[in-house]
Amino acid sequence: MGLTKSSTGSNLLANDLEFLKNDSDYVIALAGNPNVGKSTIFNNLTGMHQHTGNWPGKTVSNATGNCIYKNTNFLLVDIPGTYSILSNSEEEEIARDYICFGHPDCTIIVVDATCLERNLNLVFQTMDITNNIIVCVNLLDEAKKKKIHIDLKRLSDELGVPVVGTTARKKKTLNSLMDTVQKVCTHDIQPAPKKVIYNKYIEDGLSKIEKVLNAEFELSSDLCRWIALKLIDDEETIINSIEKNLSMSLSNNKNIQNITNEVHNDLEKNNIIKKHLKDFIVSDIMHKCETICGKVCIFEDENYSRRDRKIDKILTSKKFGIPIMLLFLAVIFWLTIVGSNYPSQALFSLFGWIQEKLLHLANFLHSPEWLSSMLISGVYQTLTWIIAVMLPPMAIFFPLFTILEDLGYLPRIAFNMDGFFKKCCCTR
């Protein structure tokens, strides 16, 4: 990908943040799956302009901005979207390191109301690291369109953390989010996450390792459990970054090595081999997500997704998929070219009229011939000509493209074209 750690800002950690924190009261992290509207929330709260877009992975590095709410200054950190923080891709590392070691006063996890189940996965993974979590159920308008109702109160009870519903595009809906953020920061609300209880053997192992960790280091109980989990999981990169950021030495500590090996042996006796450990952990989390979703999501219209599916079927069918796509693009280009003729012409005549006046003015001021011709017929004319030709098509093309994007047609194009792209790649 060509993104080095320094360029993506993954080392925007403790030191840098201390510096930024100076003039803000609290630091808030915005995490969540890709394409759930984190940057939209960030922009609306900070008034900044992070790129947003309807495809996953738009944001690749942490961005920070300030937001003042009720005389309190919050520093918001927009984290790249990830489905998980268990794995090791670049973005996940940035997200995980920030949530673990950046010490935000609270972490908002933005989830997509239209596919809550998949999104809860990250919520539970984050709960293993920190308690100060707020879950923000975004895209409520989309969910409403799809006739999905989510019982936010119940969700909050099930998770043990505050839950706020928002529609990020409407600024007003973000007030209750900031309200909750403030209350969590001032400890008026204390989230008490109901963490996932893993399979019995894993839990036994965890408590054994936790005991030793507690004896060796001074750690908060959440962090202890999380580090124990990582030791069982034997995640080298994560362990390395724990050692680096918390300046503790795990892999050289005899007691910890011994207990970890012991636990691994115990697990193996119960048919949990190290290689499959992650499957057990993930499926325990997934199972919990499934149960909770079953309780809080109400699908009011089973037919909706079927209707949606039908449209998809046409848009991606063998016969019509590609022709429809070409038709769409042709219409866009046609509208752009034909539609921009008129404003182009209008601009031409406007600029022409101004040019005449400018020449009069130059005569009136008795400016030398060479100067006025260079400035007016040279610089002015070329510049306005470029504007008249370029501006109208752009002003038409981009909004049209934005509409296509909002309709979610671009992923369908990608789906249609994937085969071709791959064929192209293979011939290289």
Partner 1 sequence: MTLNDLPLNTKGYIQNLNCNENIKRRLLDLGFVKGAPITPVLVSPSSDPRAFSIRGTLIAIRKEDANFINICFNS
Ligand X SMILES: Nc1nc2c(ncn2[C@@H]2O[C@H](COP(=O)(O)OP(=O)(O)OP(=O)(O)O)[C@@H](O)[C@H]2O)c(=O)[nH]1
Residues that bind partner 1 (CB under 8 A): 83-84, 86-88, 115, 117-118, 121, 278-279, 282-283, 286, 290, 293, 309, 312-313, 316-318, 321-322, 415-416, 418-420, 422
Q: How far is the CB of 18 from ligand X (least distance, A)?
A: 26
Cβ atoms of residues 256 and 213 within 8 Å: yes
Q: Binding of ligand X at residue 40 (CB under 6 A)?
A: yes
Residue among 69 and 280 whose Cβ is closer to partner 1: 280
Q: How far is the CB of 74 from partner 1 (least distance, A)?
A: 30
The one among 16, 25, 48, 54 contacting ligand X by CB under 6 A: 54
Instruction: Enter the tokens of residue 358.
Output: 């400018």
Residue among 140 and 376 whose Cβ is closer to ligand X: 140
The one among 59, 121, 182, 372 contacting ligand X by CB under 6 A: 59
The 9-38 contact track toward ligand X, x by CB under 6 A, reads: -----------------------x-xxxxx
Cβ–Cβ contacts within 10 Å for residue 128, how many? 22
Cβ atoms of residues 198 and 287 within 8 Å: no
The one among 168, 189, 242, 281 contacting ligand X by CB under 6 A: 168
Q: Binding of ligand X at residue 64 (CB under 6 A)?
A: no
Among candidates 100, 27, 94, which has minimal Cα distance to 65? 27
Contacts of 80 (CB under 8 A, 6+ apart): 34, 57, 59, 60, 61, 62, 91, 94, 95
Degrees, nearest 5: CA angle 109-97-175: 25
Degrees, nearest 5: CA angle 337-390-59: 100
Residues 3-62 that bind Mg ion (CB under 5 A): 38-39, 58-59
Q: How far is the CB of 34 from partner 1 (least distance, A)?
A: 11
What are the φ and ψ backbone dihedral angles of 29, each rounded to 5 degrees?
-100, 140
Residue among 56 and 65 whose Cβ is closer to ligand X: 56
Q: How far is the CB of 400 from ligand X (least distance, A)?
A: 15
Contacts of 33 (CB under 8 A, 6+ apart): 56, 81, 82, 83, 110, 111, 112, 118, 119, 122
Question: Could you say which of partner 1, ligand X, Mg ion, none residue 313 binds, taking C-beta under 5 to 8 angstroms by partner kind?
Answer: partner 1
What gap in Å lies between CA 220 and CA 230, rounded to an integer? 16
Task: Kindly list the residues in this chain that would bind ligand X in the complex (CB under 6 A).
Answer: 32, 34-40, 52-54, 56-59, 80-81, 138-139, 141-142, 167-169
